[in-house]
Each structure stands twice: as structure tokens, then as C-alpha cells.
Amino acid sequence: MDIGFWYNLEMTDNQEPQSLPEGVTFLDSGADSFVYLSEGDVVKVYKKESPEKIRLYQQLTDQVARLLNNDPTVYQIGIGGKPYSYTISVNPIKHVGEDPRFPGKVTSVSEYIPGPHISGLFPPEVPFDGLTFSNQVNPYLDILSDQLNNKFGFKGISILEPNVKFKFDPNNKIPISLIITDLSSHLWALEPANPPTQPGPPA
């Protein structure tokens, strides 16, 4: 069936769609986008950002993912007098552009990462709660944000609690994995720290 026949987005900047394609579930509304789950993917439908800005964000996300995912640093944290090891990785953006599920809209597609956020409700096998964990980890995420901004020459990278997923495997040598699902919650603020200057007229 032609998607245009039965799908009507009817969306303003701060209003979620009134109807959705079959198999698409609304997850959340962020500062920059509406977020949906479809066929194991997270689809973000951007409210105002241009395709060029989203492609720039994809390129930056991929660069950070290669840095953090290929040779992960092992961090240490102490909770309740017990040490725990954890790694930090980034969920890459698979596709940017128009998606047939959301015709006429600027979208990005990433793999859906299940599980709680770092300040969320942890499963019972985790021997500590999300608030305790996030209070310990947040200062390191702030430092990592600054390091990434400096390394890649950007401003606007800001790793926040809602954009970091938590995984726990007590049988693993490194039991905790943190997956960053968004490097910036406000894409309008993401830009090169030193944008190239336009050449002047010839002398």
C-alpha cells in the first residue's frame, strides 16, 4: 500500500504525529527530534535541523565511535566499597536522510539499544541503584565530553544521563557497559569550534 495513502504526519515543531505507520512506536520527544522504534531501529524525526547539520552530526558520531569502540578504555568505579570496571562506547548512526516511513522529513536511523539509562531503574541482579551509579559516573562523562570537543575541534558535545544506556553482566571480566546513544541533546549548539573563515577578495 502506498505510504502516502494512509500516513498523515500532521506535525508541528512541538507536537508529535497524530498517526503513525504500521509497526512504528513513539518513544520520546527531545529538544531536536521525535524518537520512534521501528523494526529494531530507532528513527529520529528532526523538528528543524537541516540535512547538512544531521550529516555533520553523523560524521562526528562515527568518528567518536571509532575512537571509543575500537580500543575501549577500561574505567574503574567504587560503589559500596567494591570496585567495578566499565567501558564506554557509542552507538553509530546508520543512515541519514528521508525515510519512507516519514516522507518529507529529515531523519536518522540507529540500532535500538535496550535497557535502562544510567540513572534509571536497574534490574534486580545489579547490586546498586541507578542514582548511586549516575552520581559517580556523571563527572567522568563531563570530562569525556570536554575531551571529545577538544580532540575533534567541536563545541556542543555534551553526554547526558538520558543518552547513556547501561548494561550489566556479572559473568564478564568487565561487568558494566555504557553505550552513548546521543553525543548532543541540542544539535543547534553543535558546530566546529573554529569554523573556517571565508577567503577575502584578491588584493
Question: Is 143 within the bounds of a domain?
Answer: yes
Which tens digits make up the pLDDT trace of 61-78? 999 999 999 989 999 999
pTM: 0.85
In a domain, residue 199? The reply is: no
Segment 53-65 mean pLDDT? 95
Q: How many CB atoms lie within 10 A of CB 82?
A: 9
- pLDDT confidence tier of residue 10, bands split at 50, 70 and 90: very low
Backbone angles phi, psi at 138, to 5 degrees: -55, -40
Would you say residue 198 lies in a domain?
no
List, for residues 106-137, the tens digit of each pLDDT value.
999 999 999 999 999 999 999 999 999 999 99
In this predicted structure, what is the pLDDT of residue 16? 59
Q: How far apart are CA 162 and CA 30, in angstroms?
A: 10
Question: Does any domain span residue 200?
Answer: no
Q: Would you say residue 202 lies in a domain?
A: no
Residue 15's pLDDT band (cuts 50, 70, 90): low
User: What are the b/e assignments for 110-142, b being 16+ CB within 10 Å?
Assistant: bebeeeebbbbebeeebeeebeebbeebbeebe
- Helices and strands in the chain, H and E counts: 3, 11
| Cα 72 to Cα 126: distance, rounded to the nearest angstrom | 22
In a domain, 197, yes or no: no
CA 171 to chain centre: 27
Distance CA(97)–CA(168), nearest Å, equals: 34
Residue 35 lies in a domain: yes
How many CB atoms sit inside 10 A of residue 42's CB? 21
The structural domain count of the chain equals: 1
Question: Domain range holding 146?
Answer: 3-192
201 falls within a domain: no
